[in-house]
Amino acid sequence: MKLWLRPSDISDALSAMEKNALFKGHLKRGKVGVLGLSMGGGTALSVAGARMNPKRLAGYCDTDALNPSLCDWVRQSGVDLHAMDMSAAGRDYRDKRIRFAMAVDPAPIDVFEAKSFAQISIPVEIINLGQPGNIPETLDASKIATIIPHAAYATIAHASHFSMFAECKPGAAELAESEKIGDPICSDGGGVRSEIHARLIDMTVAAFSRALK
């Protein structure tokens, strides 16, 4: 749950690419964007300038209402979020080399400081998976999208958070249930996963082309 380490990983990876002969010739200054799914979506918003609230992060698993499977894993791992040093969580991890950010079901969206979204100056594209009104609180980015100055927001209604995962093999849903995975990883909210993937690809290509043209 040291989520503040993730944006630094992005910045470090970009710095390494700038020095690497294989990659640096393909990087165009001012044309670099970031795409993140789930916690990666939260990371994308962090490098764009959003800041986490340390107290909210520390109290994230005080209830199972937000993310029961993750918090169960945290408890099983013997991690006490309140005992962790969260002082670095609220820092600004903005990377000015990133000129566009796209987040799909960014998580956990509710540990961020709402006012920090107003300080994001680059274009941002946010997609939520699921029917508006039924998207889990910890993923629902509809409100923060109204705070970010240059944000576009969309949903894919007949989809679920797990629709971004690879397609399930035959019998996978039954196996996951028997193994007590806890999350309906093969459920797609009434949609077809391959079609959802195709739509996400189209939306991503269009968003990056528009923002970094």
Total residue count of the chain as it appears in this document: 213
181 pLDDT exceeds 90? no
| pLDDT value at residue 88 | 97
Mean pLDDT, range 93-112, rounded to an integer? 98
In this structure, what token pair is assigned to residue 109? 């969206």
Dihedrals φ, ψ of 32, to 5°?
-105, 130
User: Which pLDDT score is estimated for 69?
Assistant: 86
Beta sheet of 124-129, edge-to-edge order: 32-37, 98-104, 124-129, 151-156
- Give the tens place of pLDDT for each residue, 138-162: 999 999 999 999 999 999 999 999 9
For residue 99, the model assigns a pLDDT of 98
**Residue the block writes with tokens 């705070």:** 147
CATH assignment of the domain containing 174: 3.40.50
Mean pLDDT value across the chain: 96
132 lies in which domain range? 5-211
104: helix, coil or strand?
strand
Question: Residue 35, Cα to own-chain centre: how many angstroms?
Answer: 8
* Domains: count for the chain: 1
Residue with tokens 């996951």: 176
